[in-house]
Chains A and B, each alone.
Chain A
Amino acid sequence: MQEKLNQFTRIEVWTLVPQSVIMNVIGIKWVFKNKLDEVGVITRNKARLIAKGYNQEKDMDYDETFVPVARLEVVRLLLAFVCMSGFKFFQMDVKSSFLNGFINEEVYVSQPPDFEDHQHTNHVYKVKKALYGLKQALRHWYERLNNFLLSHSYERGKIDKTLFIKKSKYAIIFLQIYVDDIIFGATNDSLCEEFVAAMQGEFEMSVMGELSFFLRVAGQAIKGCHLP
């Protein structure tokens, strides 16, 4: 938990401000989760600080919350296409992805339970980045990623707005985004490396290697893909 709070200060999620009457302060709490791998073995324990988004009021604390998410059909189509064309696909994961989204509205949250600042007990945090649990978190994350990719001359898919494509003369790279999971592959290895480097420069990433477990899909790259 302390590690998480350190990360918060590192990427400047919030600042401590004195509380005033006009603020709508949103409570936060810790959520703990054990992460499993595809066989069901616990790989690590996670602690996540989330805001109680149900206390947010429309127009005051948030505006629009809709966001495009990949359709499963498109994901399947991409997987089938990848298996057929035979090029390698990789997956990566953005660490605490929502914390990357910038927040435009003024949102205040209370101090995290058991980790209060003893010198400023009646202070609250003003959120700069989209905290988990806030209604607009997903939208801001997509916006951030979208702008980042578009500025690196990727093109959005015509049908599916979560598919990004970059074509050069001889090579092509595909990215399929499902909230914070990204699968990508290219006809050319250098394009992949370039993408990974760019992403790592911008976000905290963990490259998970060749596609094996995406949205409960197990895959073996050489033989094909099996969806149990």
Chain B
Amino acid sequence: MARTAVDQTKFKALIGSLLYLTASRPNIVFVVCLSVRFQSNPKKSHFKAAKRILKYLKGTTIVGLWYPSHSPIHLVDYFDCDFAGCKPDRKSTSGTSHLLGSSLISWHSKKQACVTLSTAEAEYIVVGRCFAQLLCIKQQLEDFGLKVNQVSLLCDNTSVINLTKNQIQHSRTKHIEIHSHFIRDHVSNGDCEVQFIETGRQLADIFTKPLPKDKFFFIRNELGILDSQILS
């Protein structure tokens, strides 16, 4: 039964509405982006999964991003990836979250464009993209009159940290495209530093993989997506 085809237009309309919601609901970005990949030939199982998102939304209508006042102004970035998470083509999913103090201002979840050979390589691609976004935020903050010198990018993969510091090309890394290497340049210039964070506290996980309930709620809270009733 799960393989029965469903009305494509209906499915696309549902996805379209959900995509609109992702603009202010980072907690559903990953699942919505996952459903988007099944648009051209949706089956009953896909439709069921999409409707499950609606159920979640119904239960969390009062949950939203919370920007607290008077918190310290510093930029922190989390980035992560789900190595070969997409089963059909074995591409990885990258996820980043950018926090100013404790306010989540920007996030993204995207399937990578190329197939990677190792977790380190997949994360290395994310860190480049993550930093590009960060540069944009930094310049915007300069418009506001804030100068941010060094920012920390947090990841749970020590190989990546070493890759960004080590300028030497060797057999394991020489096939990586040049555009991924631009992070090295910035690290050596001292614009940013890639630091380690344990997997349990990796806040970009929510954008890269389906999570168990406890972890999902933990990250949701940490990102400042809170219930307005608790606040007031």
Query: In the complex the two chains form, is B141's CB within 8 Å of A224's CB?
Result: no
- Are B65 and A227 touching (Cβ within 8 A)? yes
Check: A39 CB closer than 8 A to any chain B CB.
Answer: no
Interface check B211, CB cutoff 8 A:
no
Q: Which residues of A contact B5 (CB under 8 A)?
A: none
B144 interface residue, CB < 8 Å from A? yes
Most buried by B among A77, A160, A225: A77
Answer yes or no: B69 CB below 8 A from chain A CBs.
Answer: yes
- Decide yes or no: A226 and B100 within 8 Å by CB, A73-B106, A77-B137 being known contacts: no
CB-defined contacts of B64 to chain A, threshold 8 Å: 226-228
In the assembled complex, B136 has its CB within 8 A of some CB on chain A: yes
Listed residue (B61, B70, B226) with the most chain A CB atoms within 10 angstroms of its CB: B70
With A224-B68, A224-B69 known as contacts, the answer to whether A158 contacts B228 (CB < 8 A) is: no
Q: Residue on A with the closest CB to B136?
A: A159
Asked if A222 lies at the interface with its beta carbon under 8 angstroms from chain B, I say yes
Question: A84-B71, A159-B136, A216-B24 are known contacts. Are A225 and B66 too (CB-CB below 8 A)?
Answer: yes
CB contacts (< 8 Å) of B101 on chain A: these are 80, 84
Distance in angstroms from A89 CB to nearest chain B CB is 11
Chain B residues with CB under 8 Å of A148's CB are none
The reply to whether B24 and A228 contact each other, CB–CB distance below 8 Å, is yes
Whether A157 contacts B140 by the Cβ 8 Å rule is yes
Contacting pair A165 B141 (CB below 8 A): no
Rounded to whole Å, the gap between the CB of B220 and the closest CB of chain A is 14
Q: Chain B residues with Cβ under 8 A from A216's Cβ?
A: 24
Interface residues on B, range: 20 to 34
Which chain B positions have C-beta within 8 A of A227? Answer: 24, 64-67
Chain B nearest CB from A36 CB (Å) reads 16
Q: Does B143 contact A (CB under 8 A)?
A: yes
Could you count the A-B residue pairs with CB atoms below 8 Å apart for me: how many are there? 96
Among residues of A, the one whose C-beta sits closest to the C-beta of B107 is A73
List which B66-91 residues lie within 8 A (CB) of chain A.
Answer: 66-73
Chain B residues near A76: list those with CB within 8 A: 65, 103, 105-106
Whether B145 is near chain A, meaning CB under 8 Å from some CB there, is yes
Query: Which B residue's beta carbon lies closest to that of A77?
Result: B105
- B221 part of interface (Cβ distance < 8 Å): no
Q: Is B63 an interface residue (CB 8 A)?
A: yes
Residue B231 at the A interface, CB < 8 A? yes
Question: In the assembly, what is the distance between CA of A79 and CA of B140, in Å?
Answer: 13
- 12 of the cross-chain contacts (CB-CB < 8 Å) are A72-B23, A77-B105, A77-B106, A77-B141, A80-B100, A81-B146, A84-B100, A165-B144, A174-B144, A226-B65, A226-B66, A227-B64
Beyond the given A81-B73, A226-B228, please list 4 additional residue pairs across the A-B interface where CB-CB is below 8 A.
A80-B100, A83-B70, A158-B140, A226-B67
Q: Which 8 A-B pairs have the closest CB atoms?
A: A228-B64, A80-B103, A225-B67, A227-B65, A224-B68, A83-B67, A83-B69, A157-B143
